């Protein structure tokens, strides 16, 4: 059994509401705009988008990954289990990074895949292997044969609010598409307390286009598309290309990007624990262990403290804390709001770039 499906991660969506609200709160400086005789940045005329499409398309690929479904519990007999083999395909997009045949895409498309294929603009299909992936950023690198004669895209300068951009990809795994729009907001990783910044634009990123390139008017990559929510009116998020390359570089070497580490073990706050620790609500992450010599100990965190926010981002539970820590830049101080014996307290902690097991934030 084979079913086509679009697979994407919701992690970046944590920032989406905040970014959209910020769009209304900040008004960018006036820019000349509009396709009818309108100019782009610094008076630069907009391109003919059909020419841009023809130039960029040969470097954009459709990514299809096959995944085997787990055996349903209803299949009790050994014979039924042995006969069971149901496959689904996750669909996404990607683009050619270099002439060695490396393809950039989203890790949520290819993780745990039995097999991966990439389809080119001319209909040719090539098998691909996973070189490396990073769940925290949702980025992955694939490799195809070196004789594929692929044309890599060139990287551009940092996108700015008001820039015209175009999003490329294969929506729903169908025909290659282009969607033009304007950058609505750019936030760097420092502002987001994240391992990468984000670009919000109205160049629509439909399901299946995640992993595709966001390019400027010269066809240079300025971002990698992450998510597109139809309910958000076609707005799309992308990782700025320079931030993405810092994550991709170790993946190309067969390494994992170094992640921040706080040096604590935590557990959820139940209603009973909230009452015992004099908390108004059952929320936050209760510190059960502080690793000696780690960043948390140096910051003054103690067992029994309840972490309520990290970098001004509310922490409702340990899952959110772990997600936030994975996105924190190492060696950059971040503010923590905690409760200690019923009293609020603010501490400043500097995450380490190395540490024990990934399950410990």
- pLDDT tens, position by position, 253-290: 988 887 778 999 999 999 999 888 888 889 999 999 99
Tell me whether residue 157 is in a domain: yes
Higher pLDDT, 136 or 195: 136
Q: Are 159 and 236 contained in the same domain?
A: yes
* Structural domain harbouring 199: 11-36+153-252
Tell me whether residue 116 is in a domain: yes
Count of domains observed in the chain: 3
Lowest mean pLDDT among 142-146, 306-310, 357-361: 357-361
Q: In this structure, are strands 2-6 and 87-96 parallel, antiparallel, or unpaired?
A: parallel
Tell me whether residue 67 is in a domain: yes
Please say which residue of 148, 163, 183 terminates a domain: 148
Model confidence at 237: pLDDT above 50:
yes
Please say which residue of 199, 223, 252 terminates a domain: 252
Mean pLDDT in residue range 124-145 = 92
Q: Are 280 and 315 contained in the same domain?
A: yes
Mean pLDDT in residue range 4-33 = 44
The CATH number covering residue 83 comes to: 2.40.10.10
Q: Would you state the pLDDT for residue 83?
A: 62
Tell me whether residue 4 is in a domain: no
Q: Would you state the pLDDT for residue 36?
A: 40
Mean pLDDT in residue range 323-342 = 86
Higher pLDDT, 319 or 360: 319
Please say which residue of 129, 148, 167 terminates a domain: 148
Q: Would you state the pLDDT for residue 32?
A: 40
Mean pLDDT in residue range 92-121 = 94
Higher pLDDT, 237 or 357: 237
Q: Are 32 and 158 contained in the same domain?
A: yes
Q: Would you state the pLDDT for residue 43?
A: 47
Tell me whether residue 228 is in a domain: yes
Q: Band of the pLDDT at 159, cuts 50, 70, 90? A: very high
Q: Are 22 and 89 contained in the same domain?
A: no
d(CA 185, CA 202): 10
Average pLDDT along the chain = 81
Tell me whether residue 160 is in a domain: yes
Whether pTM exceeds 0.75: no
Phi and psi at residue 289, in whole multiples of 5°?
Answer: -155, 140
- Which 3 state secondary structure label does DSSP give 196? coil
Query: In the numeric block, which tokens belong to residue 171?
Result: 């929506």
Angle at 95 between CA 55 and CA 69, to 5 degrees: 140
- pLDDT tens, position by position, 69-101: 766 666 566 666 666 667 788 999 999 999 999
> Does residue 253 contact residue 247 with C-beta atoms inside 8 Å?
no
> Does residue 170 contact residue 184 with C-beta atoms inside 8 Å?
no
Q: For residue 112, which of 143, 90, 80, 141 has the smallest C-alpha distance?
A: 90
Phi and psi at residue 120, in whole multiples of 5°?
Answer: -90, 170
Q: Would you state the pLDDT for residue 71?
A: 64
Q: Are 21 and 67 contained in the same domain?
A: no
> Does residue 59 contact residue 153 with C-beta atoms inside 8 Å?
yes
Tell me whether residue 42 is in a domain: no
Lowest mean pLDDT among 72-76, 114-118, 186-190: 72-76
Tell me whether residue 3 is in a domain: no
């Amino acid at each position: 059994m084979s079913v086509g499906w679009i697979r994407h991660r919701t992690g970046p969506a944590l920032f989406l509401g905040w970014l959209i609200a910020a769009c209304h709160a900040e008004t960018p400086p006036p820019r000349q705009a509009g396709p009818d005789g309108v100019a782009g940045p610094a008076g630069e005329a907009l391109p003919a988008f059909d020419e841009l499409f023809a130039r960029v398309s040969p470097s954009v690929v459709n990514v299809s990954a096959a995944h085997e479904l787990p055996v349903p519990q209803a299949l009790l007999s050994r014979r039924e289990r042995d006969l069971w083999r149901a496959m689904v395909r996750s669909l996404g997009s990607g683009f050619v990074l270099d002439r060695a045949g490396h393809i950039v895409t989203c890790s949520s498309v290819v993780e745990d895949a039995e097999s991966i294929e990439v389809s080119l603009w001319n209909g040719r299909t090539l098998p691909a292997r996973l070189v490396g992936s990073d769940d925290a950023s949702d980025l992955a690198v694939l490799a195809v044969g070196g004789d594929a004669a692929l044309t890599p895209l060139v990287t551009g300068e940092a996108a700015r609010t008001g820039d015209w951009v175009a999003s490329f990809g294969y929506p729903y795994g169908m025909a290659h598409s282009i969607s033009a729009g304007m950058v609505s907001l750019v936030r760097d990783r420092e502002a987001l307390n994240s391992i990468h910044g984000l670009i919000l634009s109205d160049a629509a990123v439909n399901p299946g286009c995640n992993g595709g390139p966001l390019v400027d008017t010269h066809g240079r990559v300025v971002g990698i598309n992450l998510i597109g929510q139809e309910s958000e009116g076609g707005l799309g998020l992308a990782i700025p290309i320079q931030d993405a390359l810092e994550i991709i570089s170790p993946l190309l070497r067969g390494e994992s990007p170094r992640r921040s580490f706080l040096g604590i073990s935590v557990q959820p706050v139940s209603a009973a624990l909230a009452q015992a620790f004099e908390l108004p609500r059952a929320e936050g992450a209760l510190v059960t262990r502080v690793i000696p010599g780690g960043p948390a100990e140096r910051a003054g965190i103690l067992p029994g403290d309840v972490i309520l926010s990290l970098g001004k981002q509310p922490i409702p539970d340990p899952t959110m804390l772990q997600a936030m820590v994975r996105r924190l830049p190492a060696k950059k101080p971040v503010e923590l709001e905690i409760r200690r014996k019923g009293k609020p307290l603010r501490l400043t902690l500097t995450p380490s770039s190395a540490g024990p097991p990934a399950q410990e934030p």
